[in-house]
Amino acid sequence: MSINVKWGRERLQIPLPPPDTKLSVLRQSLSEHTRLPPRAFKLIYAGAVMKDDNAPLSTYNLRSGGTLLLLESSPAASPPAVAASKPPKTEASTIENIRAEVAAVRNTLEPGVDAFLRTPTVDSEHTRLGELLLQALLRLDAIAIDSAWLEARRERKGAVRTVQGVLDRLDNGWREAKEQAQIQTRAGSQR
């Protein structure tokens, strides 16, 4: 029993720890494989960020053969437009950062998703776009918001919904294209 780990262009396969193993143990194991400090990366499984290092792996429903995405989260890995390590000084500047991230997705990634969905034939392009959208979600998640900033919280929630919607459209379109290809293959082989 093992789990696949996607780390940039690298693909690792590691033994799947028992379900009662804490996430911190898996994080340490991945740290040894990648030579990254344990706090220098985020883990995503089935579209969810794995945050609680004290939680058992059963919390995240890790399955043998599943794929875990490892994203470096060092300051160098995030774009300069979004401050991941410290909160912006005002609610207005926080909202501006959130809107800049959404604008970047709409202006660069969404047109790429639209073009891909018109002729979805290359799995690597689906993977690339999916990873970029997940990174945008992580950057939004990393924006620190003061608990009193209700408008900034609403703005981030809407931004996450927007980016997740583009990601869902990409994944659903890719899934439908693969199903159509299978139907056409079966129809062609029956002739």
Ordered per-residue pLDDT tens for the chain, 191 residues: 788 888 887 888 888 888 898 999 888 888 877 888 888 888 988 878 888 889 998 888 888 888 888 888 754 444 444 444 454 478 898 898 899 889 988 888 888 888 888 887 767 788 888 888 888 888 888 888 888 999 999 999 999 999 999 999 988 988 888 888 888 888 877 76
Protein fold of 78-190: Methane Monooxygenase Hydroxylase; Chain G, domain 1 (1.20.58)
**What is the crossing angle of helices 110-118 and 150-190, to 10°?**
10
Rounded-to-integer distance, Cα 102 and Cα 80, Å: 15
Structure tokens at 181: 């290809």
Q: What is the pLDDT of residue 162?
A: 93
- Residue 141 contacts by C-beta under 8 Å, 6 or more apart in sequence? 49, 160
Q: What is the pLDDT of residue 76?
A: 43
Backbone φ and ψ of 50, nearest 5°? -90, 105
Q: What is the pLDDT of residue 183?
A: 86
Rounded-to-integer distance, Cα 159 and Cα 153, Å: 10
Within 10 angstroms of residue 116's Cβ, the number of other Cβ atoms is: 19
Helix or strand (DSSP H, E) at 177: helix 150-190
Give the Å distances, CA to CA, from 6 to 11, 12, 84, 116, 131.
Answer: 5, 7, 22, 22, 10
Within 10 angstroms of residue 44's Cβ, the number of other Cβ atoms is: 20
Domain boundaries, the chain: 2-76, 78-190
CB 57 within 8 A of CB 23: yes
Report domain 2-76's class.
alpha beta
Structure tokens at 106: 């709409």
The conformation of residue 160, written as its DSSP 8-state character, comes to H
Q: What is the pLDDT of residue 130?
A: 87
Task: Extract long-range pairs of 75-80: CB within 8 Å, 24+ residues apart.
Answer: 78/139, 78/142, 79/104, 79/139
Q: What is the pLDDT of residue 143?
A: 85
